[in-house]
Every structure is written in structure tokens, then in C-alpha cells.
Amino acid sequence: MSRKALVFYGGWDGHEPGPSSEIAVEMLAAEGFEVTREEGTAILAEADLPGFDLIVPVMTMAEPEKEEVAALTAAVEAGTGLGGFHGGMGDTFRKNTDYQFMVGGQFVAHPGNVIDYRVEIGSGDPLLAGIGDFDYRSEQYYMHVDPRIEVLAETTFTGAHAPWVAGTRMPVAWKHRHGQGRVFYSALGHKAAEFGHPQMKEILRRGLLWAARDAA
């Protein structure tokens, strides 16, 4: 029996939520998931969210109804996995702290906008085994993060665009648990074209598979 995933998308067009969500659907379908893709947040209150094994938000700066976020957090706490990338998950509901508590972090800045930077893979976690450090061109996310997260990859800010943060090491990818659910996040993926970067796509693929509830 195939696992079920929900991809909901929308919000700020600059993150190309339509094309990016389509790529996420294709990625999960290739892994055997039965995927539902819905625009907007209404699906969060209308659907049986605990019936999904994985939920992937691809939505930036939306303002959901209170009951929609409550349904999402309850599903994850009960065991549904949550996984996503960049502002589509790290800046989905900017005004909702319950959501941010679940994700483990929130976007706050990207000094210099689109720049070249280095992604360093942490040692020891088998989830990203075999993926080495790599150069990346995108928005280098500065985030407020939960100290409890398990950091998988980091980046170091040079201070070229915000001198006061020079030397700051910032998580790029992490995992943790929220209730019974597994949560994975990657800050990579500002535009849909970034899925052409092999390490970016592979990190997300592995992370989504890890976050998804195990098949019965």
C-alpha cells in the first residue's frame, strides 16, 4: 500500500510555488507516494490530515485561519511527517508561532539577496551520508532556530553584506521530532531552477523520505 502525501502551495509568487510544488510532487511520486496537490490553505481544515503520511508546504507569507494551523500541528503531533524547503516551509506562516515551533525555525533575513556561499555537511548523521560540502548560489538564509533541532548542514556568514554577523554559523538543513511526527527542513530552493542542483535535490529527497511516516 503506497504512502500518501499532501503538497499545499501558494503565497508569494517570487518563490515560484506552482512550479516548485510540481517538482515536489514528481519527486514523491517517483518514490511511490500517492500525492495530493492543493493550492491555498483551506485543505488543512477540510482534509483528513492524519490520513497523510507526509505534508509538504510550498507556501510563503500566507495568513491561514486559526483552525487550519491547529489541524496541521495536531496531525504532525499525532505522527504525520512534515518536510519542506526554503521560504515555502521556513516562512510559510510568518505570524503564527505555533507553526514556527513545529518547524524548528523561521526565516528572518538573507543579507545580500542572491549570493554565492558554501554549504557544509555535518558529520555523523547517516541521512546525508556521501554528500560532501558544496558551493551554492541562492539566498543565504539567516534564521531564528530552535536550539533543539538536529543540524544536518550549515553555512557561515562572511559579513560581506551584514558585517555584524561575520563568522556566524547558521543551520541550512535540520531534522527533529514534534510530538510523534518527524520534521525535516532545508533552506535551499529559492527558485524552481535550483532543483537542477544535484545536492540540493538529493538533500530534500532524503529529508522528505525520512520525515514521512513509515509504511504500515
pLDDT digits over 153-183, tens only? 999 999 999 999 999 999 999 999 999 999 9
pLDDT at 124: 83
For residue 207, report the phi and psi dihedrals to the nearest 5 degrees.
Answer: -65, -40
In this model, does residue 215 exceed pLDDT 90? no
User: Which of these, 185, 81, 102, 193, lies nearest to 141 by C-alpha position?
Assistant: 185
pLDDT at 216: 61
Q: In what order do the strands lie in the sheet with 150-156?
A: 34-39, 4-11, 54-60, 81-85, 181-186, 169-178, 150-156, 114-121, 134-139
In this model, does residue 42 exceed pLDDT 80? yes
Quick one: pLDDT band at residue 123, thresholds 50, 70, 90?
confident
Question: Residue 155, CB half-sphere, CA atoms under 13 Å: how many?
Answer: 25
pLDDT at 204: 98
H/E element, 91: none
pLDDT at 44: 98
Which alpha helices (DSSP H) does 55-186 contain, by range?
66-77, 86-90, 97-103
The burial class, CB within 10 Å (0-12 / 13-18 / 19+), for 135 is: exposed
Domains and their CATH numbers in the chain: 4-211 (3.40.50.880)
Residues 183 and 82 sit within 8 Å (Cβ to Cβ): yes
For residue 32, report the phi and psi dihedrals to the nearest 5 degrees.
Answer: 95, 10
In this model, does residue 195 exceed pLDDT 80? yes
| Strands 105-109, 142-145: pairing kind | antiparallel
Average pLDDT score over residue span 87-96: 98
Taking only the tens place, the pLDDT of each residue in 5-25 is 999 999 999 999 999 999 999
Average pLDDT score over residue span 121-141: 95
Average pLDDT score over residue span 182-203: 98
Q: CB within 8 A of 115, min separation 6: which ones?
A: 137, 138, 139, 140, 160, 161
Mean pLDDT for the chain overall: 97
User: Which of these, 141, 137, 135, 209, lies nearest to 175 by C-alpha position?
Assistant: 209
User: Which of these, 199, 216, 180, lies nearest to 118 by C-alpha position?
Assistant: 199
Could you give the 3-state DSSP secondary structure of residue 33? coil
The percentage of the chain sitting over the pLDDT mark of 70, rounded to a whole number, equals 100
